[in-house]
Amino acid sequence: MKSRFIASLAAVGFVLVTATGCNMVTTQATTFEYTASDGVNLPAAETDGLDVRNAFVVADYDGAAGNFIAVLVNTTDEAQTLTIDWGDGDASIDVPADETVSLGANAEPELIEDFGIMPGATVSMYIQPGLGEGVEIEVPVLNNCLTEYSDLAPNDEYDAEFCAPVLEVDTEH
C-alpha cells in the first residue's frame, strides 16, 4: 500500500514537472522588448532626443517609388532636423521642439523616387538627428494591400485584384 502511494505521488510529480517545467528552461517572450508593429523603432537615447517610431516604407507594387512613413517625436526643447539617407538619395525632415510629426498621418510622407526596392524586402537607411551621430537601420518595405496602408503608396490606388490572395497554384509549369 505504501509503495503504491509513493508510485502515485511520483507519477503526479512527473506530470507536474513535465507540464509546467518549461518555464524553468525557456525564456519568457514577455521579458524581451520588441517592436509590436510593422515598422522599426529607434529610441531617443540613440538619436539625441529624437524618437523614430514605427518607421517603414510603403512602395508601389513594382518598387518604383515609396513613401517613408514614421512617427518622429522630439523630446528636447530645441527644434531638430532628421536626415535620412537610403543610398540613392536623402531627405531632411524638420521636427519642432517638444512636438510629434506623424509622417503619413498628420504630415505628408517623405516620397522616395526611383526607389527600386520591391515590397517584402528591407532597405538600409542611415538616420541622423541634427548634427548628432547617425544610426543605420534596416527598414521594412511594405505594399498597400493592408487596409491601414491602402492610401499610402505614392502612385498606386488600392488594387483589390493585385492584393487578393492566391488560392490556386499552377503546378504544371
pLDDT at 24 over 70: no
Burial classification of residue 93, based on how many CB atoms lie within 10 Å of its CB (0-12 exposed, 13-18 middle, 19 or more buried): middle
Mean pLDDT of 1-28: 72
pLDDT at 4 over 70: yes
Range in 35-39, 107-111, 148-152, 157-161 with the lowest mean pLDDT: 157-161
| Domain limits for position 54 | 40-156
pLDDT at 72: 92
Contact 66, 141 (CB under 8 A): yes
pLDDT at 70: 93
Q: Does residue 140 sit within a domain?
A: yes
158: which residues sit within 8 A by CB, 6+ positions away? 144, 145, 150, 151
Q: Does residue 161 sit within a domain?
A: no
Mean pLDDT of 25-33: 70
DSSP SS3 for 13: helix
pLDDT at 158: 61
Q: Does residue 35 sit within a domain?
A: no
Q: Does residue 17 sit within a domain?
A: no
Q: Does residue 70 sit within a domain?
A: yes
pLDDT tens-digit map of 111-150: 888 888 888 899 999 998 876 788 899 999 998 888 788 8
pLDDT at 168 over 70: no
Q: Does residue 122 sit within a domain?
A: yes
Q: Does residue 2 sit within a domain?
A: no
Which residue from 41, 61, 52 is spatially nearest to 84, judged by alpha carbons?
Answer: 52
pLDDT at 125: 93
Domains in the chain, number: 1
Q: Does residue 34 sit within a domain?
A: no
pLDDT at 67 over 80: yes
Q: Output the domain CATH number for residue 99.
A: 2.60.40.1890
The residue ranking higher by pLDDT, 44 or 54, is 54
pLDDT at 150: 80
